[in-house]
């Protein structure tokens, strides 16, 4: 089972009746935690390293026993109290071999569904054929629940998990920032995400349209007559024939129209 499927099971479509559910910030306590600074990758916020260090230090180790090298992971769970009495669970998984880190939150996404952030560190490999080093820049993205057209039911939508960069994600990432650092640096961004979640919950089609690419621009050669050219239903810029259905010739029709 992959992580995207697991997120579906955790929150899934069953969470949608709870649309508009408020996400409270009570119970969040952040302390300064010294630790390692992760290599920077594009899209990675400054608060990610402090959040990782906090979970590593204060989280409960729930790592299962590994039987294979590729299973060597560290899994830490951090419980955040909430006003509802049900704690929010933040789970960090670090692959010791690759350095990949994922952080899953049980709430804070659209319709208060689970979401995940994923970090892949930069690395350098050796090209076996050339012996030259090959650099990979790493990656940082958010996996969250967003609407898409239901192609089995015309006019309806369904929700599914997809990847987004940190600027276009609507999940409550600033809540994680506060857990890691004790503060929120960009309050306006937090408000924008909250408005985005409400928009998706109230009008999922609007979100679908916002994320859908527009129709492609026609490849018009303006040097060849542009939209007035014969290919686009207009008049050609070539010289008309001297004879045709008109007794005075097609050329006369052109002259009468434009003179």
pLDDT band at 179 (very low <50, low <70, confident <90, very high): very high
Q: Which of 19-33, 169-183, 206-220 has the highest mean pLDDT?
A: 169-183
pLDDT reported for residue 212:
81
pLDDT reported for residue 154:
82
pLDDT reported for residue 84:
79
DSSP string, the chain: --HHHHHHHHTTGGGGGGTT-----TT--------PPPPP-TT--TTHHHHHHHHHHHSEE-PPPPSSGGG-EEEEEEEE--TTSS-EEEEEEEETTT--EEEEESS-SGGG--EEEEEE--EEEE-TTT--EEEE--EEEEEEEEEEE-TTSTT-EEEEEEEE-TTT--S-HHHHHHHHHSS-S-HHHHHHHHHHHHHHHH-HHHHHHHHSPPPPPP---GGGTGGGSGGGTS--SSPPPS-SSSTT-HHHHHHHHH-
pLDDT reported for residue 101:
98
pLDDT reported for residue 151:
85
pLDDT reported for residue 226:
53
More confident of the two residues 254 and 224: 224
More confident of the two residues 72 and 191: 191
For 104-162, write each residue's pLDDT tens digit.
999 999 999 999 999 999 999 999 999 999 999 999 999 999 999 988 888 889 999 99
For 45-97, write each residue's pLDDT tens digit.
999 999 999 999 999 999 988 767 667 899 999 999 887 788 899 999 999 98
């Amino acid at each position: 089972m992959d992580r995207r499927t697991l997120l579906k099971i955790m929150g899934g479509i069953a969470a949608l009746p709870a649309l508009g559910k408020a996400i409270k910030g009570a119970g969040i306590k952040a302390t300064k935690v010294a630790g390692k600074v992760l290599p920077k990758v594009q899209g990675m916020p400054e608060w990610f390293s402090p959040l990782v260090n906090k979970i590593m230090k204060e989280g409960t180790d729930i790592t299962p026993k590994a039987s294979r090298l590729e299973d060597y992971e560290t899994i830490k769970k951090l419980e955040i109290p909430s006003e509802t009495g049900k704690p929010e669970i933040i789970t960090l998984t670090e692959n010791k071999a690759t350095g990949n880190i994922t952080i899953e939150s049980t709430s804070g996404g659209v319709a208060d569904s689970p979401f995940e952030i994923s970090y892949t560190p930069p690395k350098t490999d050796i090209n076996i054929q050339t012996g030259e080093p090959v650099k990979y820049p790493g990656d940082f993205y958010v996996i969250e629940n967003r609407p898409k057209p239901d192609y089995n039911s015309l006019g309806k939508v369904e929700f599914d998990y997809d990847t987004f960069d940190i600027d276009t994600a609507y999940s409550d990432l600033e809540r994680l920032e506060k857990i890691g650092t004790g503060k929120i640096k960009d309050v306006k961004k937090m408000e924008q995400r909250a408005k985005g979640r409400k928009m998706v919950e109230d009008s999922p089609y609007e979100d679908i349209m916002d994320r859908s690419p527009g129709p492609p621009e026609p490849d018009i050669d303006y040097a060849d007559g542009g939209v007035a050219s014969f290919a686009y239903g207009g008049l050609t810029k070539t010289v008309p024939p001297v004879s045709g259905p008109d007794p005075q010739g097609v050329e006369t029709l052109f002259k009468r129209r434009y003179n």
